[in-house]
A and B are shown apart, each in its own frame.
Chain A
Amino acid sequence: MPAHQPDPDATTHDPGSIDPGHVVLDARDISRALTRISHEILERNKGPEDLVLLGLHTRGVPLARRIGERITSVEGAPVAVGSLDVTMYRDDLRSHPARGPQKTVVPPAGIDGRTVVLVDDVLFSGRTIRAALDALNDLGRPSAVRLAVLVDRGHRELPIRADHVGKNLPSARSERVSVRLEEIDGHDDVRISQMGDHA
């Protein structure tokens, strides 16, 4: 039964097996993009009040944390940061072997009446965000939900758009966009490559 399945969102691979591609954002680009997103979030929300940043597993979680740190250092007041697991809400549950859910951590004050900013690494089909909106629905009633992503690569399959985008990256469906982050992969970069045989 619960065999250990590779994370379908995993974006790192054995470098020998596929085209390594080329770097579209390096560590400093990522840092600048996150700083800009942090300011945009603050501007849009008119301050850090009632703001909740929820990172989507896997790589949205450290991104939300980094944005939270930036907002805290700008405003001097801590901002609530949590994580959201959407495994149970996915529309493709039946097409993969069952995966165990990961931690959902909602700040103790909850999300009712607050502004939730969902944070993810790549916006692609929009299906993860659809699942996240459903998951939020079971957690409470935010006054507004916004979306911040590091990379928007297009190819939406649902009427969903991001409010804050680190980089718009026009890509072909046959290409792979991989985000690597210090906290998970040891270093920061975003690469684009041709999909390997393992895709």
Chain B
Amino acid sequence: MKHLLSINDLSVDDIETIFTTAAEMHDVQRREVKKLPALRGRTVINLFFEDSTRTRSSFEIAGKWLSADTINITGKGSSTSKGESLRDTVLTVCAMGVDALVMRHHASGSAQQVSEWVDAVVINAGDGTHEHPTQALLDAYALQQRLGSLEGRRIAVVGDLTHSRVFRSNVLCLTKLGADVTVVAPPTLMPSGVEAWSKSAGFATSYDLDQVLPTADAVMMLRVQRERMNGAFFPTAREYTVRYGLTRDRLAALKPDTPILHPGPMNRGLEIAADAADAAQSLVLDQVSAGVAVRMSVLYHLLAGEESA
């Protein structure tokens, strides 16, 4: 495989290989000298047309710890704001001699499109409402570190599913690893066509969070993406919290030690209460540190081997 555009590009074996390498990278994170020479002389460009804190810095750290040269280009302040097309921007960047392009763009399918234009390795760091594969990998990795095998584990994915690329990648990844996934959202935030997809992919849907939580082995709360909502998807934020937020009461309804995940950034008080976000069973910060290890592993496997690998 040359690029990482979708979880669908990966077999279960590929995912396990990425996780095994990530575990070694995790050990490197605890060392005093956090540096491996594997990607010396390789150049990785983070091309971000959307805001990001953790994904971009995590890819940047991952590249640096593998000794690659990493450069960040953001949509704001680049020639894009002067009207340059996406194609011209990526061709320009690649003409400088780039080995990998880590890309985030607001158009679904943009990473796939760019991979057809350039010779560099393309890693999708979020394309519109389509996919965010490394986020799903790191979530599954962090969960696996806590729970062991995900086979048969009941995992609830809750929140704004319509606008969530994290949801799409996560459902693909978790079901591939054998987890029993239930997605929960208000009807207005349940993507259209989810019934057909849930049947073919093998996950369940629900509108009732309180019914799903007591049996869940892990809960993943997704962010309410207000920046993508032009219309009103729910009457008030308060009503969303009452029906779909991980409140203090719902935290108490969980089985003890049930891991809580959130890909960040969190809207505290909206989809997740501070008590839940900061609870001992919260994996939020583990997800961030797993993110660096998993991205190191992905960069390593895509870039370290022979050119034609």
Q: Measuring CB to CB, which residues of chain A are less than 8 angstroms from any residue of chain B?
A: 1-2, 4, 85, 87-89, 93-104, 134, 138-140
Contacts and interface: CB of A to CB of B under 8 A. Distances in A.
Contact of A139 (B31, B300, B303): B31
Nearest to B1: A1
Interface of B: 1-2, 4, 10, 13-14, 17-18, 20-21, 24, 27, 31-33, 35-38, 66, 300-307, 309
Nearest to B41: A94
A66 to B, nearest CB: 24
A4 B17 contact: yes
B24 A98 contact: no
Contacts of B2: 1
A103 B26 CA distance: 11
Contacts of A140: 32
Given A1-B1, A1-B4, A98-B309, 17 more contacts: A1-B2, A1-B301, A2-B18, A2-B301, A4-B17, A93-B304, A94-B304, A94-B307, A97-B305, A97-B309, A98-B304, A100-B301, A134-B37, A138-B33, A139-B31, A139-B33, A140-B32
B17 A2 contact: yes
6 tightest Cβ-Cβ pairs between the two chains A and B = A98-B305, A2-B17, A1-B1, A97-B309, A88-B38, A88-B36
Nearest to A102: B24
Interface of B is mostly: loop
A4 B305 CA distance: 13
B17 A100 contact: yes
A37 B4 CA distance: 48
A96 B13 CA distance: 19
B33 A98 contact: no
A1 B14 contact: yes
A101 B301 contact: no
B297 to A, nearest CB: 8
A139 B32 CA distance: 8
B306 A96 contact: yes
Contacts of B38: 87-89, 93
A2 to B, nearest CB: 4
Contact of B36 (A1, A4, A96, A138): A138
Contact of B13 (A4, A98, A101, A102): A4
A93 B14 CA distance: 19
A97 B306 CA distance: 5
A131 to B, nearest CB: 9
B16 to A, nearest CB: 9
30 contacts: A1-B1, A1-B4, A1-B10, A1-B17, A1-B301, A1-B302, A2-B17, A2-B21, A85-B24, A88-B37, A88-B66, A88-B300, A88-B304, A89-B38, A93-B38, A94-B306, A96-B306, A97-B305, A97-B306, A97-B309, A98-B303, A98-B305, A100-B24, A103-B24, A104-B27, A134-B37, A138-B33, A138-B35, A139-B33, A140-B32
Nearest to B33: A138
B167 to A, nearest CB: 24
A85 B123 CA distance: 27
